[in-house]
Amino acid sequence: MLWLQLLCGLLLLNGVWNKPAAQKEDDDEEDCEINAPDTMHDFCCDLHDELSQFVECQIEWHEKIHYTTDKEEQTYMFCTAECTFNGTELLKPNRKSLNLKRVQAHLESELADDADEALLYETYVKCDKHATSLLSHKSVKSLSKRLDAYGCHPYPGLVMECVSNDMILNCPPKRFHDTAQCRVARDYLRNCMTHVKYKP
Ligand SMILES: *[C@@H]1O[C@H](CO)[C@@H](O)[C@H](O)[C@H]1NC(C)=O
């Protein structure tokens, strides 16, 4: 049963993948980032598969949100992200910033290598700031309203998306999963990030 749901979830996620690429040309600035295909579930870099709660939360939220549109899928992804962060206690009680001490302790316990820890920690620091700065963005505000209906807040998803993007862009080459899907994601992001103020 669990297996089937997982498989089903993966197929659905794969199905939505290639869509946003065509519409990206006329997006301005941060919209190119916010409208980027979700990378949260891609795990294109060996370094970044450290959040074990993620799969459980995917299953939990898949049952709660039966998405049929891109927007509903985004709601599902952001609730999954918050659920994951709630489980790991990386989030401060205000739900708008990370507990960086916990992030560090968490990375120390999950990753075996000092250089990996340092790289990922810097990414979390950067993404904490970046996600906070996106909260006032118009399209994030409208996303926030949609999330409210499910008791979810956009901040954890913004962090997680930023961490995934950063790991796709800055993954040590040997650790990058050289699959078609990951290459598409990397090329999109490289192109997109040249329009965005934030440089991962
Ligand atoms: C995460 O925890 C907060 C605070 O307890 C709660 O309000 C919120 O609904 C939780 N989010 C998810 C997605 O479970």
pLDDT in tens, 124-173: 999 999 999 889 988 899 999 999 999 999 999 999 989 988 988 999 99
Q: Average pLDDT in the 181-185 region?
A: 90
- pLDDT band with cut points at 50, 70 and 90 for residue 75: very high
- How buried is 165 (Cβ within 10 angstroms: 0-12 exposed, 13-18 middle, 19+ buried)? buried
pLDDT in tens, 89-106: 788 888 889 999 999 998
Q: Average pLDDT in the 33-62 region?
A: 79
More confident residue, 83 or 15: 83
The Cα–Cα gap between 96 and 73 comes to: 22
**Which residue has the least CA distance to atom 9 on ligand 1?**
151
Whether residue 178 is predicted with pLDDT greater than 80 in this model: the reply is yes
Tokens of 130: 């970046």
| Predicted TM-score of the model (pTM) | 0.79
Q: Are 129 and 200 in contact (CB under 8 A)?
A: no
Is the CB of residue 134 below 6 angstroms from any atom belonging to ligand 1?
Answer: no
**Which residue has the least CA distance to atom 3 on ligand 1?**
86
The Cα–Cα gap between 108 and 87 comes to: 17
Is the CB of residue 53 below 6 angstroms from any atom belonging to ligand 1?
Answer: no
> How far does residue 93's CA lie from ligand 1's centre (Å)?
10
In this prediction, residue 50 carries a pLDDT of: 58
In this prediction, residue 195 carries a pLDDT of: 62
Task: State which of 60, 82, 96 you would mutate to test the pocket of ligand 1, scoring each by most atoms of that ligand within 8 A of its C-beta.
Answer: 82
In this prediction, residue 119 carries a pLDDT of: 93
Closest CA to 63 of 14, 2, 11: 2
Handedness of CA 137, 142, 144, 147 (dihedral sign): negative
In this prediction, residue 16 carries a pLDDT of: 35
**Which residue has the least CA distance to atom 7 on ligand 1?**
151
Is the CB of residue 57 below 6 angstroms from any atom belonging to ligand 1?
Answer: no
Closest CA to 164 of 185, 145, 147, 181: 185
Domains of the chain in start order, with CATH, are: 42-192 (1.10.238.270)
